[in-house]
Structure formats: structure tokens, C-alpha cells
């Protein structure tokens, strides 16, 4: 098996539960992670999950602040397997789509695009404006993979965890990581 190393970033959109669950699953799968949490995400973590950021950081192997542009992952020469921004705020999406790398999250995303490595953006906003949609198209045209936080229901979810597992499972699918987080469609 190839040794995977992923960057996970949590930004200031509702749905931080997806990012935290992804970190837990990656830890369980023994996949090395580099974590960046934006300041707005810290506020949302406290509000939505009632957790302290330190409780989340323990699931990552390396933790950086968004202002640390000297971090190893800020360079395309540092070889990680990919990056997941979950949730991806519309501000972060706009910065990525415009190439405005003013923090570590967007700088690493920029490196993923220029180095042709997987960059998965998990936007969590509704409704979407035409600006949001255009930014998603721009990011996708540059090579990003857009996985909206839109759980399916064919697996007959019973809990919030079932819905979260579906979205996290889709992220893992795109990265080629085997899992059993949700029941796959097998037909009728």
C-alpha cells in the first residue's frame, strides 16, 4: 500500500463535523495528516460541536496556523498525497479560484493545483449564488474536485453520523482510500 500523507483544512463554514470526522477516520486508517484550522472555523467548532480546538488537533500528526507560510507544506516540493478543505467556506473557495494565496490554507491549495495533486473542496453553503457557482467552476477547471456536502439517502441513514459518513466516504472514494463508512448502491 502506498504511504498516504494528506493535508486537511477546516475553514469558516457550517459543517465542521465533516472535517473532524474525516480526521478521526484518517487517524483510524493510519494515514498521516497535516491540519490547518482557520480562525473562523475555530469559532464554528466551538458553536457547532462544543469542542475545544485542542481536542481536534490531537487527531492530526502535524498542526499549523493559517499564518505559517514557512510550514513545509507551503512548498510544492513537499510531497503530500493531496489536500481536503472540509468544510470549504465561500471565502476560501473565492481565494483558491482567484489564486489569492494570502494564508497557508490557500497556499497549500495552490500547490496542489500547480503540482497536479488532488485538491478536494467540500463547500457547505446554501443557496448558492452565481458567484459561488462561478468560483466552483473556476476551481474545477484549475483541477480541484468539488464534493458538496450533500449526503445521499439510498443507504437509508438513521443518524446524523450516517449522513456524515456518506460525505466523508465520498471524500475517501475520490482519494482511492478503501472504507466501509456507508452501504453502497447495489441496485434494487
Of 1 and 95, the structure prediction assigns the larger pLDDT to: 95
Confidence (pLDDT) at 187: 87
Q: What percent of the chain has pLDDT over 90?
A: 96
Confidence (pLDDT) at 148: 98
Confidence (pLDDT) at 2: 55
Instruction: Read off the pLDDT of each residue in 81-88 and give the average, rounded to a whole number.
Output: 98
Nearest-CA neighbor of 122 among 150, 96, 159, 152?
A: 150
Instruction: Read off the pLDDT of each residue in 148-173 and give the average, rounded to a whole number.
Output: 97
Q: Which three cell numbers stand for residue 123?
A: 463547500
Confidence (pLDDT) at 146: 98
Q: Is 121 left (phi over 0), alpha (psi -120 to 50) or beta?
A: beta
Query: Do the Cβ atoms of 9 and 83 come closer than 8 Å?
Result: yes
pTM of the shown model: 0.97
Confidence (pLDDT) at 188: 81
pLDDT at 97 over 90: yes
The rounded mean pLDDT for the chain is 97
Would you give the end-to-end CA distance of the chain in angstroms? 34
pLDDT at 1 over 50: no
CATH class of 5-175: alpha beta
Instruction: Read off the pLDDT of each residue in 85-110 and give the average, rounded to a whole number.
Output: 98
Confidence (pLDDT) at 58: 98
pLDDT at 79 over 70: yes
Amino acid at each position: 500500500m502506498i504511504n498516504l500523507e494528506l493535508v486537511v483544512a477546516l475553514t469558516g463554514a457550517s459543517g465542521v463535523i465533516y472535517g473532524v470526522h474525516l480526521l478521526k477516520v484518517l487517524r483510524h486508517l493510519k494515514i498521516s495528516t497535516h491540519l490547518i484550522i482557520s480562525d473562523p472555523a475555530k469559532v464554528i467548532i466551538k458553536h457547532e460541536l462544543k469542542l475545544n480546538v485542542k481536542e481536534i488537533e490531537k487527531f492530526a500528526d502535524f498542526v499549523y496556523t493559517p499564518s505559517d507560510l514557512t510550514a513545509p507544506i507551503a512548498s510544492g516540493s513537499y510531497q503530500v498525497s493531496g489536500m481536503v478543505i472540509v468544510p470549504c467556506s465561500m471565502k476560501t473557495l473565492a481565494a483558491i479560484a482567484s489564486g489569492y494565496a494570502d494564508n497557508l490554507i490557500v497556499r497549500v491549495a495552490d500547490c496542489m493545483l500547480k503540482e497536479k495533486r488532488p485538491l478536494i473542496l467540500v463547500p457547505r453553503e446554501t443557496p448558492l449564488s452565481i458567484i459561488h457557482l462561478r468560483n466552483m467552476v473556476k476551481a474545477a477547471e484549475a483541477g480541484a474536485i468539488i464534493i458538496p456536502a450533500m449526503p445521499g439517502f439510498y443507504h437509508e441513514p438513521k443518524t446524523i453520523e450516517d449522513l456524515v459518513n456518506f460525505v466523508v466516504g465520498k471524500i475517501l472514494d475520490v482519494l482511492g482510500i478503501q472504507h466501509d463508512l456507508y452501504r453502497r448502491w447495489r441496485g434494487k
